[in-house]
Structure 1
Amino acid sequence: MRKQLMAAVIFPLALGQAGMTLAQSSTSAFQSNASEAQRKANSSQATSELFYMIQQLQSEVRRLQGETEEQRHLIKRLQDQGRDRYIDLDQRILDLSEKVLAQPKAAEAAGGGAEAAPEKMREYRQPGAEERKAYQAIQDLIHDQKKYDEAISGLYEFIDKYPEGDLTVNAYYWLGEVYLVKPQLEQARQAFSIVATRYADHRKAPDAVYKLGVTLDQLDKKADARRQMEQVINDYPKTEAAKLARKFLDSGQG
């Protein structure tokens, strides 16, 4: 009887403990499944966000590539326009140089002998503030930065924008100087010839005649070089260019 009583007490207790163990096991399994589901949900959300960010970046890259391509086409178009303008101005200077070089020959053929000095000093258009600033910027390219190609382009643009002014003659002269440095001797000869012949009464004329002689000497046109040096001495005897011309002749050059 006592054994039956003990069994009756122990059995429910065992069932209770088993139930509690089973409940705890079920709770742990449920919590584990919930955590795994949450982890997967978080992972899926992170993947979605990453995919969205990648799409956004790809879209931004495509936009930037499009802008870069547009800028590249714009730069090429501007370069082509600048080159065409450069070639046009270069041809105009060549034509002008040929005309002014032909003038002394025409005068000599007509019995006029050597070219006479201008009877009247012309009045050159004086530059405004903007023109002076543009000219100074070119001088900076030449003397300080030594960017001769940019200076040449700048001089052509300056001559085209500000024709027949006092600084325009300077621009022709410095065009010759830069071409002489490069050296592009034929272009230098053309530029110096324009100043020496067309603007013979300008303050840069003595220097231009002298540098024309130097250029001709480098072109191995010795007799023509000597004639230019003699012209400097005869037409502009009190100038620094005349002193340089005398040194050139005394040294036996040409």
Structure 2
Amino acid sequence: RAAAGTDPYGTQPSAAYPTTSYGVNSAAASPATRTMSTATSPQQSQGRNLASLFSQIQQLQQEVMMLNGKVEEQAHELRQLKQQSLERYVDLDRRLGAASTVATPGDGTLSHDNTIQVATRVPGSEPAVVEQAGEGEAYQAAYGLVRGQQFDEAVVGFNQFLENYPAGKYSPNAHYWLGELYLVVQPMQLESSRQAFMLLLSQYPDNSKVPDTLFKLGKVHFMKGNRERSREFLDRLISDYGSTNATAVKLAQDFIRDNY
């Protein structure tokens, strides 16, 4: 029995009461609270990374669009250059074809007074070749494919022409056109072009197309990466035909100035 005057609910041991979480001296936050406060840090970092990645993707898309635009523009310019170049040679070949229909006097002809007139050999000229039966029609058929911009078919046509008329009147023109066509077909065939021009040069060294052929060989070798060989053909053109009015000479001089 408790003593008189003693509080039955007297002071209890302090260990019997849990420590409160209030006040200045309250205990630290629980582990659960710390976990919630730190969980947001990786999420924020991930969000920033995603935003940066999205920005990079947008930038790459813009760059791709710009590059596609440049490719289309350059492809258009290339088509225009090819068309312009081909039109020039079509016109040149038309005029040369018209000139070839005019009768060419032989090495010795008779004047009105029956005295012998000896024709002067012009540099770059060659003896006249008699046109074979059906040759003109076959050449014009292949040439018509060029004018119709059927370049692949024209390659077949001129090769067939040369097979049928290997030493014909228009064989030099056929070799020249094959050299040109191999530069405009897709894919471009630089080696075939070189071979066609070399056949013309070796078989018809006095043909009127030799200056243009030398210039083309210079360009073809340049496109193949053979700069020294290219320069040899260009220098040969200027050396052999520099005193003439050949357009190819001026083109060769301009090409050397721009690329060497």
Task: Using structure 2 for the length normalisation, give the TM-score.
Answer: 0.48
Pick 1 or 2: higher relative contact order, CA cutoff 8 A, min separation 6: 1
Task: Using structure 1 for the length normalisation, give the TM-score.
Answer: 0.49
